[in-house]
Amino acid sequence: MTDLSVHTTPIPGVLVIDLPLHGDSRGWFKENWQRAKMVALGLPDFAPVQNNMSYNEEAGVTRGLHAEPWDKLISLATGRILGAWVDLREGPSFGQTFTLEMGPEKAVYIPRGVANGYQALEPKTTYSYLVNDHWSPEAKKSYTFVNLADETVGIDWPIPLDRAIVSDADKAHPKLADVTPFPGPRTVIVGASGQLGQALQKVLPDADALTQDDLDLTDADAVASYPWSGVTTIINAAAYTAVDVAETESGRIAAWKINVEAVARLAEVARANRATLVHISTDYVFDGTSTDHDEDEALSPLGVYGQTKAAADVIVATVPRHYVVRTSWVIGEGTNFVRTMAGLAAKGVKPSVVDDQYGRLTFTDDLARGIVHLVESGAPFGTYNLTSQGPIVTWCDVAKRVYELTGHSADDVSPTSTEEYGRGKQMAPRPTHSVLRLDKIQAAGFEPVDGDEALVAYLQAERA
């Protein structure tokens, strides 16, 4: 009896599982699907929802080759087959084949887009497969096929196909040269018109970039009806960020609709489609009394904006595949603090800027790169802080540096307190300390940029 084990194959993602058969004079018993053990050995946690079986009365029954829009785990209850698989996914492995003669002692995991077929080698062979989506006539429209007899595929069927039992439909499938590749996994960026959304589009040019006009996240029907099939990653760069307006009656309602209710809809979509949900959080989920914040600190928001973002963090954490990326002081395309200060400097304005809030800038191009790193590297799911690194600064420090870098005097910027700056204004409470510790993102293999170096590069690009 072999031990339970998982092996790779020439087709990326296709895995062979050795299944121990526990036998005696009565027959045998096996654990055909054992989530904890198999996932620990490297099988994806693919969450099957349907079990299908195909009984083959005679040796020579041959079926396939079908690439379907779901992942599956195939195995046998009785008999033996030659299993055959052809990668029909777009990409460098398109057309790669793999065959395996197998009985009940094997199982094979097949990712979506890999064509699957088999030939029964014994009478009364019973073929079983678990899939992680429900079959429907609509789903069948997404199938991709390749012909069993295609010589370029080169499958050596033990029973020649002219003596095998093959359906007319399977005989009519196209040759590999005529196959349109199965589309690759889709990434969706929501909030694509914002500062981060624009940066994400540059590093993910093939992603579906959705603005508020493309998909209104506050419309439950619109979110439910969007074609999520095939989406493996959802990056939520949409948010209500009018921190001060959020303290008003209308702003409070809008903030909760966008920052909480809409996020709950995306979380449900991610769960239903087994997608990874990436959500952008903020330093405002903390009250700022600690001088710096790690990912495990208890949430303690001061104002409505922070409260809505904290609520969203809790919701996203319920999604099995999630990254909460917590950031602060974001600078990118569009209106932001650095551009405002550069504009004031150019006009000869000598502003007063608060010097009792502490943190680090985050540049959207670096934030976008960090998000892609987490997803593509397969970093453990959870919450990660991501800002620039380097010395801790105040807003006043940043303003003075912008004045210097744009050829003006840092002395044109004068310090003031948050209390003084906010006197007579409708202002939400701010965390005093917004410094986010970066140990975890660095341990995951991503090294954030130095804040001052990034600021220099940002202003140089602005002048170019």
d(CA 364, CA 349): 27
Residue 240 in contact with residue 285, Cβ under 8 Å? no
Task: Tell me 265's DSSP state.
Answer: H
Give the residue from 84, 75, 71, 78 showing the smallest Cα distance to 19: 75
Q: What is the β-pairing status of strands 414-416 and 352-354? A: parallel
Catalytic site residue 127? no
In SS3 terms, 276-305 reads as: EEEEEEEHHHCCCCCCCECCCCCCCCCCHH
3-state secondary structure of 347: coil
Catalytic residue among 129, 240, 305, 458: 129
Instruction: Work out the number of other CB atoms within 10 angstroms of the CB of residue 453.
Output: 13
| Omega of the bond leading into 65 within 30 degrees of 0 (cis) | yes
- The owner of tokens 């590749």 is 181
End-to-end distance of the chain based on CA atoms, in angstroms? 69
Give the residue from 31, 8, 153, 212 showing the smallest Cα distance to 104: 31
Catalytic residue among 66, 293, 322, 373: 66
d(CA 307, CA 247): 11
Q: What is the β-pairing status of strands 276-282 and 322-327? A: parallel
Q: Which helix (H) or strand (E) holds 108?
A: strand 106-110
Q: Quote helix, strand, coil % in the chain, to nearest 5.
A: 30, 25, 45
In sequence order, what are the beta bridge partners of 110?
A: 72
Catalytic site residue 66? yes
Q: Any residues with CB less than 8 A from the CB of 230 and at least 6 apart, and which?
A: 69, 112, 142, 183, 185, 186
Instruction: Work out the number of other CB atoms within 10 angstroms of the CB of residue 259.
Output: 24
At 227, list the tokens: 């074609």
Task: Tell me 412's DSSP state.
Answer: G
Q: Which helix (H) or strand (E) holds 17?
A: strand 15-18
d(CA 464, CA 461): 5
At 428, list the tokens: 């939400």
Task: Tell me 33's DSSP state.
Answer: -
Catalytic residues: 66, 129
